[in-house]
Amino acid sequence: MQTQGQDDLQKQASQPSHTKVTRHDWLRVAHELLVRQGEEAVKIQAIGTHLGVSRSSFYWYFNDRKDLLNALLEHWQEQNTRAFIEQTQIPSATITEAVCRVFYCAIDERLFSTKLDFAVREWGRRSADVMAQVRQSDRQCLDALTDMYLRFNYVQDDAEIKARMLYFTQVGYHLVDLQESLQQRVHYVRGYLLGFTGQEPLTSELEALLDYVAQL
């Protein structure tokens, strides 16, 4: 009769060696494939080959490919939707300062991945379930922007219209794949702020945005 210790050793011996590969590693490579090649390229075998491990390692972290894809969508919601909404909620002294904080999402991939956003939207064209999540995310972001404008005493209709202008401009910027440097984009910031708020930005706000860009 085997002891508990012998049972544990036998179980460990039967497990595939995957100590160097974590759940995060599987998600990281899946994320890269999704962004570069689309959802159809996110295959268990392809990821395992890239990581140098067998397929069996995958099943320590995910039930199946659908489970992995759901995890990617959760990552998108966390990195993009939640991050965007949080930017709209940061206390600001003026509406132009608040909009500058939203601009951070358009210029800082660490804060908001435009490449991931584009990949998920493309995925949504082929999946009704994914498109439903994209639509829900859009509504949440628009609601957050509307609330931001309302905090600065814009009337409801004006707040909703400005929220739509700001959000659809930000989404459209990367969807059209505009070949524009970050420096060129920053050049238009003052005009954008005036258009999105109806107010002139403070010099200190523009300088703060430029400082943020310089640190990227």
Residue 107 belongs to domain with CATH number? 1.10.357
Reference 120, options 137, 144, 142; nearest CA is: 137
Q: What CATH number is given to the structural domain containing 50?
A: 1.10.10
Domain assignment of residue 5, yes or no? no
Q: Indicate the average pLDDT of the chain.
A: 90
Q: Are residues 57 and 138 in the same domain?
A: no
Query: For residue 175, what pLDDT is reported?
Result: 77
Q: Are residues 206 and 125 in the same domain?
A: yes
| pLDDT band for position 78 (cuts 50, 70, 90) | very high
How many whole angstroms separate alpha carbon 162 and alpha carbon 65? 40
Reference 101, options 127, 83, 80, 119; nearest CA is: 83
Q: Which pair of structure tokens corresponds to residue 49? A: 């080959």
Query: For residue 124, what pLDDT is reported?
Result: 98
Of 4-8, 75-79, 173-177, 188-192, least confident by mean pLDDT is: 4-8
How many whole angstroms separate alpha carbon 90 and alpha carbon 39? 33
- From first CA to last CA, the distance across the chain in angstroms is 62
Radius of gyration of the chain, Cα coordinates, nearest whole angstrom: 22
Q: Which residue has the tokens 């991945």?
A: 113
pLDDT of 180 strictly over 90: no
pLDDT of 25 strictly over 60: yes
Query: What is the domain range of residue 43?
Result: 13-62
Q: Are residues 97 and 190 in the same domain?
A: yes
Q: Are residues 164 and 203 in the same domain?
A: yes
pLDDT of 61 strictly over 50: yes
How many whole angstroms separate alpha carbon 150 and alpha carbon 157? 10
Q: Are residues 38 and 87 in the same domain?
A: no
Q: Are residues 186 and 147 in the same domain?
A: yes
pLDDT of 204 strictly over 80: yes
Dmax (CA) of the chain = 81
Domain assignment of residue 7, yes or no? no
Interval 193-202 mean pLDDT:
97
pLDDT of 58 strictly over 70: yes
How many whole angstroms separate alpha carbon 181 and alpha carbon 188? 12
Q: Which residue has the tokens 């009337």?
A: 155
Domain assignment of residue 69, yes or no? no
Q: Which pair of structure tokens corresponds to residue 112? A: 């908001």
Query: For residue 86, what pLDDT is reported?
Result: 97
Query: For residue 42, what pLDDT is reported?
Result: 98
Query: For residue 48, what pLDDT is reported?
Result: 95
Q: Which residue has the tokens 């202008």?
A: 165
Domain assignment of residue 68, yes or no? no
Number of domains into which the chain is organized: 2
Q: Do 69 and 38 contact (CB within 8 A), yes or no? A: no
pTM: 0.86
Q: Are residues 110 and 138 in the same domain?
A: yes
How many whole angstroms separate alpha carbon 200 and alpha carbon 195? 9
Interval 32-57 mean pLDDT:
95
pLDDT of 183 strictly over 90: no
| pLDDT band for position 79 (cuts 50, 70, 90) | very high
Percent of the chain clearing pLDDT 70 (strictly above): 91
